[in-house]
Amino acid sequence: MEDRLNEVIIDEIPKEMDELYDKAKDLIASSEDVKIYSHNDCDGISAGAILSTLLDRLNKKHEIEIVPLDKLNDLKIANDLTIFADLGSGQDVDKFAKSDSNIIILDHHPPIRDFNYNGTVKHNFIEINPNYHDIDGSHFVSGGGLSYFLAKKLGFKDLSWIGVLSAVGDMQNSRTGKLEGLNSIILNDAVDEGYVDVIPDLSLYGRKTRPLFVALSFFSDVNLPITNNRTEAIALLESIDINPKIGDESRTLSDLTNEEKGKLFSALVSMLSKAVPSKYVYYIPKLVSADSYEFLMEEDMTFLRDASEFSTAMNACTRNNREDIALKILKGDRIESLDELIDISKEHRRYLAQNIHKIEEEDSIIEKENLQYFNGNGIRSSVVGTIAGMVLSSANWRKPILGFTQVSEESLDWKVSLRCSRLLSYHGIHFGNIIREISRSVGGNGGGHSVACGAYIPYDKKEEFLDKFNKRLNGVLEL
């Protein structure tokens, strides 16, 4: 596989792109009434919060609507200015534009239009997308990041922390464990402004809020003795003289000294090196270490302090149709909305745990040569991916796992979500592209990241889809 880590990374805004930002700024200045459509995930909500805050500060009347991608076909264009954030590049969103409509798109997904499209239509159309400027939108800037650059043009560098959150929520750091490219500009702004601290750390989820032995037991990119086994996780810590507790209090990852983190890093690397085929050994350090980002204005040891835990809370809101709470939190409300956010997160975790238990209990993961899948009958389609990721730890990490569920109560069609070990993606497999190809071939559509992606497929095409997917991976997985 080619090693793409040596490619040249663009880390300043290209001139052509910067000029579009100047135009966008002028357009905002001359508009009195603005509509924002933004995507219903952490990145989209972050983008929406940045744009809404900057319009507040400019005293511009505006409305924001958070929308899923499948609801984008018939959006009205009725305001002075319509802004699409973290979506729009892949959709025909201006089909109802009138000649006096003004549209700005801030999206990092692959564009369907030509860069010179705005010269071919009557309405005013500004599309800012890194892919037009040779910048890969899946690793180097997110929808929230693109929105931040507009805020920065207007002098609002204090919103940079939301740009960092959006990038982490969008897994932009999944390539190397760091924020790179245009994301590094946003990160530097956030550090300069005193909002964010970068901490090189072990790559375990819940560094501020989970007992370390619990965080270790959730390690699922490779099935290790510690995976789903808290006793083994405690034994590992004790074997390298790391105390899992101080008094009655369990320690979290962020309680460890640097020396202790170093010992744990070495122990995990050696454990992993024994557990994986030799072709994967090269990627192990990347699997175990990553930069983490702390929001310095949030209280220490809370779930809003760590960017990755913060992004989980934002996702919990969008998956439970409570985007309103996520937006309020991002716009600064820590009084009324914080309790609601905690309740939503709790309920979300309860729902996930209950369904994961059901799948594991009923032994419902079915294995084919190159993949494994389960039928999440009744699982809400918005969380089937999260659940797939979590049951991977009790399945075969060498193969991707696909979860199926009904799209909605009104539709019998399938939503399918795929998750896999990061090792598969480091080794060069891009499941987002594969699922797009296979879903289209059965009359559906899909796409996404290399390790987390999904598709919608017609009700009667599930077997064909599975069959084609399985065959497509022949020789690709090198099991």
Q: Which of 338, 261, 328, 331 is nearest to 303 (CA)?
A: 338
CB of 170 to Mn ion, least distance (A): 4
CB of 187 to Mn ion, least distance (A): 17
Regarding 136 and contact with Mn ion (CB under 5 A), the answer is: no
Among 48, 111, 137, 143, binds Mn ion (CB under 5 A): 143
For Mn ion, the binding residues in 284-323 under the rule CB under 5 A are: none
**Token pair for 370:** 């190159």
- Residue 387 sits at φ, ψ, to 5 deg, of -65, -40
CB of 438 to Mn ion, least distance (A): 23
If one counts every other C-beta atom within 10 angstroms of the C-beta of residue 219, the result is 22
Nearer to Mn ion, 84 or 469 (CB): 84
Nearer to Mn ion, 84 or 283 (CB): 84
418 beta partners: 402, 453
CA 29 to chain centre: 32
Regarding 43 and contact with Mn ion (CB under 5 A), the answer is: yes
Nearer to Mn ion, 149 or 219 (CB): 149
CB of 100 to Mn ion, least distance (A): 30
For Mn ion, the binding residues in 47-86 under the rule CB under 5 A are: 86
For Mn ion, the binding residues in 351-410 under the rule CB under 5 A are: none
Conformation bin of residue 247: beta by default, left when phi > 0, alpha when psi is -120 to 50: left
CA distance 105 to 127: 5
CB of 143 to Mn ion, least distance (A): 4
If one counts every other C-beta atom within 10 angstroms of the C-beta of residue 68, the result is 14
Nearer to Mn ion, 399 or 436 (CB): 436
CB of 293 to Mn ion, least distance (A): 17
Nearer to Mn ion, 110 or 285 (CB): 110
Nearer to Mn ion, 143 or 376 (CB): 143
In 154-211, where does DSSP find H-type helix?
160-169, 182-192
Q: Which residues contact 215 (CB under 8 A, 6 or more apart)?
A: 204, 205, 206, 207, 252, 253
289 beta partners: 202
Residue 349's alpha-carbon distances to 308, 337, 406, 428, in angstroms, are 16, 18, 21, 32
Q: Which of 88, 455, 397 is nearest to 77 (CA)?
A: 88
Q: Which stretch binds Mn ion (CB under 5 A): 21-29, 41-49, 198-206, 342-350?
A: 41-49
SS3 218: coil
Nearer to Mn ion, 86 or 201 (CB): 86
**Token pair for 153:** 């043009």
Nearer to Mn ion, 80 or 170 (CB): 170
CB of 318 to Mn ion, least distance (A): 12
CA 96 to chain centre: 30
Residue type for 208, please? K
The enclosing H or E element of 446 equals: strand 445-448
For Mn ion, the binding residues in 85-124 under the rule CB under 5 A are: 86
For Mn ion, the binding residues in 166-185 under the rule CB under 5 A are: 170
User: What's the burial of 327, exposed, middle or buried (CB within 10 Å: 0-12/13-18/19+)?
Assistant: buried
- Residue 457 sits at φ, ψ, to 5 deg, of -135, 150
CB of 133 to Mn ion, least distance (A): 17
Q: Which stretch binds Mn ion (CB under 5 A): 162-170, 323-331, 417-425, 460-468?
A: 162-170
* Residue of closest CB approach to Mn ion: 43
CB of 311 to Mn ion, least distance (A): 11
Q: How many residues bind Mn ion (CB under 5 A)?
A: 5
CB of 284 to Mn ion, least distance (A): 28
Nearer to Mn ion, 144 or 211 (CB): 144
Nearer to Mn ion, 151 or 224 (CB): 151
| Contact residues: Mn ion, CB under 5 A | 43, 86, 142-143, 170
